[in-house]
Amino acid sequence: MSLTEKRCTACEGGVSPMDSNEARQYLAEVPGWTLTHDDTRIARRFKTQDFASALAFTQTIGALAEEEDHHPQITLGWGFVEVELYTHKIGGLHQNDFILAAKINQAWNAAGG
């Protein structure tokens, strides 16, 4: 099953974050994203035409995050949206981060990005 078909599962902590090897395997399924912060987070910068389209894409991401109950850190500026994902409860990466990243990519591609 592809990541875009999965749903984020509640992650209340008590599990280990995924290790670098597993994270690198998941990364292959989310083009454009890179590992950051010693492989404990993933991030992608999306370039947009202007501020308004960056804001609109941020709102799309916000709606996806609420649907999945999994929330990114977002930096918004003129012509870009930077998205960073990790699972706070475990201080690192969980499959949930890659599910949301895949859904954000899907929305970006659908919008013609």
Ligand X SMILES: C[C@H](O)[C@H](O)[C@H]1CNC2=NC(N)=NC(=O)C2=N1
| Residue 95 contacts residue 60 (beta carbons within 8 Å) | no
Nearer to ligand X, 6 or 89 (CB): 89
- DSSP string over 25-90: HHHTTSTT-EEETTTTEEEEEEE-SSHHHHHHHHHHHHHHHHHHT---EEEEETTEEEEEE-BGGG
On the 0-12 / 13-18 / 19+ scale of CB atoms within 10 A, 96 is buried
Q: Least CB distance from residue 27 to ligand X, whole Å? A: 17
Nearer to ligand X, 11 or 56 (CB): 11
Closest CB to ligand X among residues 98, 108: 98
Residues that bind ligand X (CB under 6 A): 10-11, 69-71, 87-89
Question: Cβ of residue 57: shortest distance to ligand X, in angstroms?
Answer: 18
Report in angstroms how near the CB of residue 36 gets to ligand X at its nearest. Answer: 14
Give me the least distance between CB of 22 and ligand X, in Å please. 18
For the chain, report the end-to-end CA distance as a whole number of angstroms.
24
For residues 60 and 71, which CB has a smaller minimum distance to ligand X in the complex? 71
